[in-house]
Amino acid sequence: MANTTAVYARIDTGLKNDAERILSQLGISPSSAIQMLYSQIILCKGMPFDLRLPESKPVAAGSLSRNEIDAELMKGIASLNNNKGLTVAEVDVELKKEFGI
């Protein structure tokens, strides 16, 4: 048997349960998953996935306060008053560039 050592980590109970439910469906034990992660860290000489802040996403109007909605509307009115309106095609290009949609 290979020389082994224990790894102890404190994680959120819900996160642990959700992850172990998926691992179980894949037929992988938590120990095997950790072994795989560590193996990939060695192979990649770092984390085996990108670590970065999430890209910005459009904000739903329902999540904004009345003052935030008013401020956004005022920005739109100001841009129209300054003849800085965009065509539908230009809006599509901007949405694709900024949000990938």
Query: How many whole angstroms separate alpha carbon 27 and alpha carbon 36?
Result: 13
Q: What is the mean pLDDT of residues 18-36?
A: 95
**pLDDT score recorded for residue 94:** 84
**pLDDT score recorded for residue 5:** 93
Per-residue pLDDT reduced to its tens digit, 48-79: 988 877 666 667 878 888 998 898 889 888 88
Query: How many whole angstroms separate alpha carbon 34 and alpha carbon 18?
Result: 15
- The model's confidence at residue 24, banded by pLDDT at 50, 70 and 90, is very high
- Out of 2.60.40.1730, 1.10.3720.10, 1.10.287.110, 1.10.1220.10, which CATH number does the structure's domain 1-52 have? 1.10.1220.10
pTM reported for the whole predicted model:
0.51
Radius of gyration of the chain (CA): 24
- The model's confidence at residue 20, banded by pLDDT at 50, 70 and 90, is very high
Query: What are 101's two structure tokens?
Result: 């949609």
* Boundaries of every domain in the chain: 1-52, 61-99
Mean pLDDT for the chain overall: 88
Q: What is the mean pLDDT of residues 15-42?
A: 95
Can you tell me which residue has the tokens 């670590």? Answer: 51
